[in-house]
């Protein structure tokens, strides 16, 4: 039996603005994301044909209720099916219809990233599944081809195949442009997810009903990023979906107000929520705050995380083989 394991990192949106609703039902956005050292873990094993493709468990303070479904709508299962279809399996059909292509595969997902948080956990898991399957099969797809498969799974999935820690996303978020490497102090955040989530479609429906006529540009944020000044960066973080999330779940505000009262550099929501992030002056100060926040909000998920830097380890295989 052979085994491959990769981390599936979380992300936060330091800048997010919705520009317009498109005719295909998606939305054009401007999104600036950073990947974090908080991650799920996905392991692929081959051997005797297992009864199920995917098994899951939780760590890091999550409850079993945080697990996504193991079949049907699970993005890891969808990634497996899309990968097999791209290898020549018949398209369509129910989940696991492609098991005749790679029948000996089993994947184990360890969840540490909460769901319905705006942290991209499901999308990251799907991208990581594609990376593991491609490596297991001897790299039948280039990175660009794998990214095309990822795009069909969701707007955020290609982000987790990017090779930089910070990325500007346009279109529906799938058109990716790497940002210059951050040369300032380490970016460390406190993540606080309340004990409730928000469904992304509901948040976007709220945006459709209250669409801004003057969407904010990312120019100020990008200038702050290039300056590598922590205060300027904090002042330019923004999320255009935040007012909508506050309308749907007014109790989000109490968590934000508390965080702001602790002297954080900035407090924002990531993605469509409901996870909040607070930018801290240092990792030490973030870790010192975590225990206090867990005591103040025992019902919430609280964790410190820092931005990932450098090229991800999985990229080496593509670089060596010239698979771009």
111 annotated active-site: no
> Is 156 among the residues known to form the active site?
yes
Q: List, in sequence order, every residue forming a beta bridge with 188; answer none if it has no partner.
A: 280, 306
Give CA torsion, residues 233, 197, 212, 32, to 10 deg. 30
DSSP 195-244: S----HHHHHHHHHHT--SSPPPSHHHHHHHHHT-HHHHHHH-EETTHHH
Phi, psi of 288 (to 5 degrees): -65, -30
From the CB of residue 1, how many other CB atoms can be counted at a distance below 10 Å? 8
274 vs 12, 194, 247, CA distance in Å? 11, 7, 12
Cα distance between residue 180 and residue 171, in whole Å:
20
Q: Transcribe 111-128 into DSSP letters.
A: E-SPSSSSS-HHHHHHHH
The token duo for 186 is 């380490």
Cα 300 → chain centroid: 19
What the block records as the tokens of 251 is 């109790």
Q: Give the span between the Cα atoms of 71 and 75, in whole angstroms.
A: 9
Task: Return the ∠ at Cα 41 (arms to 165 and 92), rounded to 5°.
Answer: 95
Residues with Cβ within 8 Å of 173's Cβ and at least 6 positions away in sequence, in order, are: 29, 31, 155, 156, 159
**Tokens 């998920």, residue located:** 301
Q: Which of 11, 78, 193, 256 is catalytic?
A: 11
Which of these is catalytic: 78, 156, 193, 256?
A: 156
Half-sphere exposure of residue 80, counting CA atoms within 13 Å on the CB side? Answer: 28
* Catalytic residue ranges: 11, 156
């Amino acid at each position: 039996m052979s085994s491959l394991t990769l981390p599936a990192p979380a992300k936060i949106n330091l800048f997010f603005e919705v520009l317009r609703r498109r005719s295909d039902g998606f939305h054009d956005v401007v999104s600036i994301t950073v990947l974090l050292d908080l991650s799920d873990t996905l392991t692929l094993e081959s051997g005797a044909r297992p009864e199920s493709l995917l098994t899951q468990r939780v760590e890091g303070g999550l409850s079993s209720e945080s697990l996504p479904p193991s079949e049907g709508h699970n993005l890891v299962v969808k990634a497996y099916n899309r990968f097999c279809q791209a290898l020549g399996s018949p398209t369509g059909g129910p989940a696991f219809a492609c098991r005749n292509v790679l029948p000996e595969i089993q994947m184990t997902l360890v969840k540490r990233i909460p769901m319905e948080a705006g942290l991209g956990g499901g999308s990251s898991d799907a991208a990581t599944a594609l990376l593991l399957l491609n490596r297991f099969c001897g790299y039948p797809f280039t990175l660009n081809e794998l990214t095309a498969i990822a795009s069909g799974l969701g707007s955020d999935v290609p982000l987790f195949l990017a090779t930089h820690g910070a990325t500007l996303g346009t279109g529906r978020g799938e058109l990716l442009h790497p940002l210059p490497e951050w040369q300032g102090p380490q970016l460390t955040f406190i993540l606080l997810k309340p004990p409730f989530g928000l469904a992304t479609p509901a948040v976007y429906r709220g945006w459709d009903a209250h669409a801004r006529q003057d969407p904010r540009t990312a120019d100020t944020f990008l200038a702050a990023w290039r300056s590598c000044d922590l205060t300027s960066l904090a002042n330019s973080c923004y999320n255009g979906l935040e007012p909508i999330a506050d309308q749907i779940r007014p109790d989000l505000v109490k968590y934000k107000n508390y965080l702001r009262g602790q002297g954080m550099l900035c407090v924002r929501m990531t993605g469509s929520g409901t996870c909040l992030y607070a930018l801290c002056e240092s990792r030490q100060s973030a870790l010192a705050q975590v225990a206090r926040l867990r005591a103040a909000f025992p019902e919430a998920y609280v964790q410190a995380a820092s931005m990932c830097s450098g090229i991800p380890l999985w990229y080496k295989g593509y670089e060596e083989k010239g698979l771009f």
